[in-house]
Amino acid sequence: DESKVKVATLSDIHSFKEYQQVYNDIAKKIEDEDDFDVDGSAGPNLVRLAWHSAGTYDKYDKNPHTNGGSYGGTMRFSKEGGDGANNGLAKGREFLEPLLKKYTWLSHGDLWTLAGVVAIQEMGGPKIKWRPGRKDLSEEYQAPNGKLPDAAQGPDYVRKFFNRLDFTDREMVALIGAHTLGRCHVTSSGYDGPWDFAPTMFDNGFFTQLQKGVGSGEGQWHLRKWDGPEQYEDNNSNSLMMLPADMALVQDPKFKKIVDEFAASQEAFFNEFAPAFQKLLESGIHFPKESKELVFRTLDEQS
């Protein structure tokens, strides 16, 4: 049954030093390959890879074959990897492939979640506690398609979606704050553009932009006129974007209060985000009591 399959296996776990070495290799590769995407860094793609590997989890589904989560690294198979929501992530998976060759003991789930942690920390984000022990599962464990969120939806959908993953309002608002990173690619999602002006910096920029809301004044948001999917564009530069599901966070009064708090205080955002991201990456996995939370040093801290 469920409680016996997705268990972090302490016997296969390596030393902190070895995981820090994997961390460093990923961080250096991000630094070296600075033409990965329009904005340079592979970091945003790797954060999205970590999130999509985990965000399939369904707490209401007790069947380990279908209830998703990052444990089994099943996005490597064609059904889950081919879910439209995962368009663009093959690039991140290929980027990480050499690490699997070098560290043959590392599972896909551990690698992809660790890479998300590396990317966030190296781009200036908070320290994320991380635990190893995921194991590759066979293709019978692929999450069904359609388990990742629909960007065209509003507040009720967003709340219900993240309740399925067991998150509170504060946690879900904080998690979506990861849209401070990266951009939408027409070729992947059909949407277009970045959310803030520093897409390779993990800060509270998503909230300071979003807070301005929809309207006609300076710095506010209007619907973009184009033949792509419905998205918002900012009045000042016409170069930033918001998804309908982002705008949901200022349409719902409970969400809006939290957006205001995170826009006013990056520290409040980081304090909420770090444990929520750890929880996301550990969704549906049973960690034995003795499993240690690892906190990695950034490349800067080691130099």
Positions that interact with ligand ZEM (CB under 6 A): 44-45, 47-48, 51, 88, 149, 151, 158, 175-176, 178-179, 181-185, 188-189, 191, 243, 245, 277
Q: Helix H segments across 125-241?
A: 155-164, 169-176, 205-210
**Nearer to ligand ZEM (CB atom), residue 5 or residue 117:** 117
Q: How far apart are CA 81 and CA 96, in angstroms?
A: 15
Q: Which helix (H) or strand (E) holds 287?
A: none
* Residue with smaller CB distance to ligand ZEM, 182 or 205: 182
Q: Which is it for the CA torsion 256, 260, 266, 270, positive or negative? A: negative
- Catalytic residue IDs: 52, 195
- Find, among 102, 101, 128, 126, the residue nearest to 114 by Cα: 128
Considering the complex, state which of residue 48 and residue 108 has its C-beta at the smaller distance from ligand ZEM: 48
- 3-class SS of residue 282: coil
CB-based closest residue to ligand ZEM: 182
| Residue 208 Ramachandran class (φ > 0 left, ψ -120 to 50 alpha, else beta) | alpha
Least gap, CB of 216 to ligand ZEM (angstroms): 26
Nearer to ligand ZEM by C-beta: 5 or 194? 194
The residues, any chain, with a CB within 8 Å of residue 262's CB and separated by 6 or more, are 173, 174, 177, 204, 207, 268, 269, 272
Q: At what angle do helices 16-32 and 90-102 cross, to 10 degrees?
A: 130
Q: Is the CB of 13 or the CB of 234 nearer to ligand ZEM?
A: 234
Q: Is 7 in a helix, a strand, or coil?
A: strand
Task: Answer for the pair 53, 70: CB distance below 8 angstroms, yes or no.
Answer: yes
d(CA 133, CA 72): 10
